[in-house]
Amino acid sequence: MKVLQKPTNARGTRDFGPKEMALRSYVFSIIKGHFEAFGFQTIETPAIENLSVLTGKYGDEGDQLLFKIVNSGDYLSKVIGDPLALGSKALLPQIAEKGLRYDLTVPFARFVAMNRNDIAFPFRRSQIQPVWRADRPQKGRYREFYQCDADIIGSDSLVNEAELIALFQSIFESLKLRTNLIINSRKILAGIVDRLGATDLFVAFAVAIDKLDKIGWDAVALELSANGFQTNQIDALQKLFNFEGTNATKIELLADFFADNTLGLEGLAEIQTVLRLADLNGFDNSNLIFDFKLARGLSYYTGLIYEGKSVDVPFGSIVGGGRYDNLTAAFGLPNMSGVGISFGIERIIDVMRELDLFPSIQISASKLLLTYFDEAGQALAINISNQLRKANIPSEVYPDIAKIKKSFEFADKKGIPFVGVIGDQEIKDQTVSVKEMKNGEQHVLSISDLIQYMSAK
């Protein structure tokens, strides 16, 4: 006999069994429901994209983290040069033309560019699909994970930002997860470096302060210094960043700081407008926090940016997003402003688990297991189960004529809440003895009464 392999998941990937799927479905269906309520139309794009679409969109590091697919057939035959002399990096584009999507944003931009004539703009699109990154796997970070995005593209109105904030509030209200939503604007960050006299150092500035939460001020100050910031600039920045206050006092402070800086004032006005529009949404918006230290890593944001955090598990963000003006330009469609929000679904699930926020969810699909002692009982069980299903009562038939004890153990292990037994008397009377597993309560019911009884459960 040949030695059998002990199978494993590929590194950094996971199976989701019924229990995990029940929790995931709970979160996904709430998010999907709100996406629909807000008028977002779902699209799906393929997992496989041409590397020409993906490469160069995520920076050098991103390019390296793309999963690349070997060309079909005799892939070496088209290689120009000696593979070994070329080396892994130079050979790669010659043997791999396709890759797995790295996020949903670039495929979305491609989709919009390709379908520009059929789309009614502003286009509210939602997309919930897995993405792949050849990252080093670690706790809570996987190589295959879902993203969950909503974007409104083709309009520069700040009403859209307000709509996404309302979407954020309504989703987390439903999930019963307490959150803060931190907002800022790229224009405010640009205004700050302008006023510091460091306009040219904007990128280094944004990259450095994006790490503030993780590495702290001292390390950020060192990084700023290493990137060319003067001591007096860093001191001025520290003074600004040390300010604590309400949204209103922060806006006042910055209005003073910006003086006549157009970009900064524009960003500030946008923050004020968005806060005003958001306050019309009917939610408690006291969790909307203007924080001009927020930077967001991604380079394509051009306007408002935001980040959602759990109040009770504050480490790391669970939502991110912002406005972009040029996402589709790389695909030949310039001047298409949009704003998006991405729900970090994997982290949201982790946080909800940590806070024990999942309601008690039935893991089994079936509400009732039908079991029996003989062929006549089996026949009745098959018939009744199909009547139950037509009445929207998920049920299953135990497949074997076995000891009743065995079917009860099965129902218990699987978490099926009710077991219906069909014995001689039940066959004669066309009834079912139904038992509730959690409390042992038992009833003998006619088929129509059973349907009524189970419908109410």
User: Contacts with its own copies in 336-365 (CB under 8 A)?
Assistant: 363-365
Binding residue (CB under 8 A) for its own copies from 23, 30, 114, 207: 114
- Which one of residues 26, 94, 116, 157 is an interface residue with its own copies (CB under 8 A)? 157
**Cβ closest to its own copies, residue 203 vs residue 382:** 382
Closer residue to its own copies, CB minimum distance, 91 or 269: 91
| Among 60, 61, 80, 88, interactor with its own copies by CB under 8 A | 88
Separation of alpha carbons 288 and 455, rounded Å: 42
CB 303 within 8 Å of CB 270 = yes
**C-alpha to C-alpha distance for 320 and 455, rounded to whole angstroms:** 41
| Beta carbon nearer to its own copies, 241 or 331 | 331
Nearer to its own copies, 157 or 225 (CB): 157
* Interaction of residue 152 with its own copies, rule CB under 8 A: yes
Query: What is the three-class DSSP state of 183?
Result: strand
Rank residues 220 and 349 by Cβ distance to its own copies and give the closer one: 349
Cβ 388 to its own copies shortest distance, Å: 8
Amino acid at 302: T
> Cα–Cα distances in Å, from 365 out to 241, 418, 420, 427, 452?
52, 12, 16, 26, 19
* Residue 59, CA distances (Å) to 5, 62, 102, 297 in order: 39, 5, 12, 11
Restricting to residues 398-427, which ones interact with its own copies according to CB under 8 A? 399-400, 410, 413-414, 416
The Cα-based distances of 243 to 254, 340, 393 in angstroms read 10, 29, 59
Nearer to its own copies, 166 or 220 (CB): 166
Q: Decide if 182 contacts 309 (C-beta within 8 A).
A: yes
Residues 147/102, Cβ–Cβ less than 8 Å: no
Rule CB under 8 A: choose which of 29, 59, 83, 219 binds its own copies. Answer: 83
Helix H or strand E segment including 65: helix 59-65
The answer to whether 443 touches 433, Cβ cutoff 8 Å, is yes
Q: Which of 28, 202, 217, 331 binds its own copies (CB under 8 A)?
A: 331
Binding positions for its own copies, 227-256, rule CB under 8 A: none
Q: In the bound complex, what is the minimum distance in angstroms from residue 149's beta carbon to its own copies?
A: 15
Q: Which is nearer to its own copies, 121 or 243 (CB)?
A: 121
Residue 202 or 410: the one with the smaller Cβ distance to its own copies is 410
Q: Which of 29, 76, 314, 452 contacts its own copies by CB under 8 A? A: 76
The answer to whether 373 touches 423, Cβ cutoff 8 Å, is: yes
Residues 6+ apart with CB under 8 A from 363: 18, 19, 22, 414, 415
Q: Site residues for its own copies, window 363-402 (CB under 8 A)?
A: 363-366, 378-379, 382-383, 386-387, 389-390, 392-397, 399-400
**Residue 258 and residue 187: Cα distance in Å, rounded?**
11
Least separation in angstroms between CB 25 and its own copies: 7
Nearer to its own copies by Cβ, of 36 and 312: the residue is: 36
List the structure tokens of 307: 């980040």
Using CB under 8 A as the binding rule, the residues of this chain from 276 to 315 that contact its own copies are 277, 280-283
Among 190, 184, 206, 40, residue whose Cα is nearest residue 108: 40
Could you tell me where the DSSP H helices lie in 96-180? 105-114, 159-175
In whole angstroms, how close is the CB of 14 to its own copies at the nearest point? 6
Of the residues 330, 404, 445, 447, which one makes contact with its own copies according to CB under 8 A: 330
Within positions 9 to 68, which residues make up the interface with its own copies, using CB under 8 A?
Answer: 9-10, 13-18, 21, 25, 34-50, 52-53, 64, 67-68
